[in-house]
Amino acid sequence: MRWFYQKFLIGIKRISPDSDLISYINKYSKVKVNGDAKVNFMDYDWRLNEQ
């Protein structure tokens, strides 16, 4: 799980070097996320890709 999160953040930094995850989301979303919101990631079931 940590691998995907790190790759995602690297991608955000390439697009917007001065941005963090919440700032990136707020840039493209009509619904704004509070700047001090806690970010959590759920485990992904890779078996879904086999369907």
Domain count, the chain: 1
Q: 7 vs 2, 3, 31, 32, 33, CA distance in Å?
A: 9, 6, 24, 23, 21
Q: What pLDDT is attached to residue 11?
A: 72
Q: Answer yes or no: is 22 within a domain.
A: yes
Q: Could you read off the pLDDT of 5-20 as tens digits, one per residue?
A: 677 777 777 766 666 7
Reading the block at residue 42, the tokens are 């759920």
Q: Answer yes or no: is 41 within a domain.
A: no
Q: What pLDDT is attached to residue 44?
A: 76
What does the alpha-carbon distance between residue 26 and residue 29 come to, in Å, rounded to a whole number? 5
**Domain encompassing residue 6:** 1-32
What does the alpha-carbon distance between residue 22 and residue 13 come to, in Å, rounded to a whole number? 12
Q: Answer yes or no: is 17 within a domain.
A: yes
Q: Answer yes or no: is 44 within a domain.
A: no
Q: What pLDDT is attached to residue 15?
A: 67
Instruction: Give yes or no for residue 33 having a pLDDT over 90.
Output: yes
Q: Answer yes or no: is 51 within a domain.
A: no
Q: Answer yes or no: is 47 within a domain.
A: no
Q: Answer yes or no: is 5 within a domain.
A: yes
